[in-house]
A and B are shown apart, each in its own frame.
Chain A
Amino acid sequence: MNSLVLLVVLPLFAAFIIPVVAKFSPKLSLFTGPVVLCINLLLIMSAWIKVGSGSEAIFLGGFLPPVGIVFYIDHFSLLFSGLIAGMVLIVWPWDAKESRLYSLYMLLSAASFGLVLSADLFNLYVFYELLAVATYGIIAASPISKVPNSSATAASLRYLFISSAGSVMLLLGIAIIYTLTGTLNIAHLATMTTSLDGFAGLSAFALIAIGAGVKAEMFPVNSWVAEVYGTIPRQLSALLAGLVSKLAVILIIRMLLMVFQQQAAFDLLLVVGMLGVISGEMVAWRAKDMIRMLSFSSIAQLGLIFIAFSIAGSKGLWIGMALMLHHLLVKGGLFLMADRFAGHMGKLKGLAKHSPMAAAVFLVFVLSLLGVPPFPGFWIKLLLILNLAEQGGGLYHVAIATILLATVIETAYIFKFVRILYQKADADSTPINKNYSSSYTFAKLFALILLVSMLFVSPISNHLKDIANHSASPHIYINKILPTKQLGDRS
């Protein structure tokens, strides 16, 4: 099991050697990254089987927690590790002119693996920051390889300022937690929730939530979203909206589930989620071009995910996880589609006649996003509303009302979009780019996965429920990571 640390270390290794390899053979450097990711996929699969329904902890450096850094491995983290490897493979920049860009993609995936696996607060901060720096670079550099486009640099700079401020808040939150408890290990923190119960602990959570919320497109700190997604290649938008935002959500959720099980923390997340849903849907409704609509609907979906996580315990994790996977498929697929069909929505008129297949794929995605009955989106939304109703309490009812209102707004703009697809073409509409594009193929694949999962809704949801039950339990977490309460023992 100790070898699973290679998930993080191999991409780092690849990132370090790629610039040197590129000097001798550019071709080789291009393939280093995908090969490493494939090895990682194999590692993940073998670990998935080995872990079974249990979980494992890796003690880095051989130091027993809480003094050292720990990786915690269960099906939840392995699931997301697999998604990371898959997504990065899908959006791998095959046509980039710069070997350093490959290094950045490798660093991004290493940071993502670390963010999913690590069970140490400061280690999470380091990986979060690595993810952030790699992302700034990829955003700023990506269009350079194709178009000399400086607007991406400006978007990246604004993102850098917002996100760095967020990182510093994360650091402040960690400092407060350390001052109160004297430890950084999340399992160890979970054993002393009482010292974090007060106002100081809650504000530490708020600082962490806002700090990580920048990447998670959380309500007050998401003004970068439209600018960044508007200027970068669409595959990259798919990566950022589909995956990177989820990793930040996972960071927040881990803190919430393991350490801050207080009603005030849940309420905070609920309010932020509702505000995100409403603000996102309102802007998406008025958007005229596709990327803007997708960006703001992504903000709204992330808000929905935060609402789901405000349900305490494993149920919240279960629904939130389903929402995250669904959003990854749908928004990732839509952004990949937008690689070919972007711009003003009026230009898409007559798409259904021109390319029925593309229109059908669009239809699958948006209908599932909206939550029309047979699609998986419907079941998840239903589950969310039912569970919110079960919670009782005024705020949860407001949340139900918010979701319903948001669905109405969503219906308005999505049907506007669908109508455009099935309208007759006019002079304004552009003929579709006939060039082969791999992202369109992947979008079709995503739609296929969505349709297949429609047939297996109940086994999939049962499986997710098992994973969530296991991952949301602080007891299992603590027992696995802190097998003995002795401090400073060497294994």
Chain B
Amino acid sequence: MSRGSRDRTATSRRRASAWLWGVIGILALVAVWEAYKAFGPADGVVIGGLRVLPRTTDLAMPHVWDMVTRMAEPVTRSPQALPLWLVIVLAALTTLGIAAAGWLVGLVVGIGLALGMQRWKLAEWGLLPWIVLSQTVPLIAFAPVVKSWGSRVEIGAFEWQDWMSVALIASYLAFFPIAIGALKGLQSPDRIHTELMQTYAAGYWSTLTKLRFPAAVPYLLPALRLGAANAVIGAVVAEVSTGLQGGIGRILIQFAGQASGDPAKAWGPIFGAIVLGLVAAGSVALLGQILKNYRRTEEAL
């Protein structure tokens, strides 16, 4: 028991030091930014016609404190305007919801594909190259098509909403790591374990539930985390692409459009998008905590 508590204090001490160093890392980045801004040439460092270090004007590199204080100020001079940070948080929450839906679709599709490919070698050979290739198609190329086709879907009381197009596009990025990770995971059981199931005369489904899925967890979790980050990226891009209102993608281009007169403002949604991605990936890490008994061999991976 004392061993357990000692373990815990040791881990919490380690965690605290990790956080501390992380903060130091960010502060170091801030320091580098400001130092370069203070001492770097206004037009950046140009070598052989190539600008290898950025310009240091306020337009190109706003002061970090300007970015921070800008967050606290209202978005516009309009009397009803909310503070910038609140606008970003609200937009981020919208996007998070859409990304979550995209992630779920990606999860279902990814696992479905992985199951098929695990079950039939021919399916693996036939599909896997295309799945890999699918990710080289720029999202933006088909975002309008998805929106257009989606708006045609109307089944009974169900009517396709624009946010669903965005979620669907997000799922296009999310499914990929999930399919690959799940396939690897489902194929991961050692021969000794598959043969054990065979000696128990266990069928496909019991082998799946008792062996393959549990064994896949250590592969699946990082895949799901990547999938979550991808879902957020996909949702943001799709928002920009299809012009969906309310999300972070929308304010991202809106504020980018105002960056000439208000350079610090444009950074707000960038930080919002990063925090959003981290939150999404972090939530999956939480899932990993729940499944920790399935990750007992993870060190070995």
Q: Do A and B bind each other?
A: no
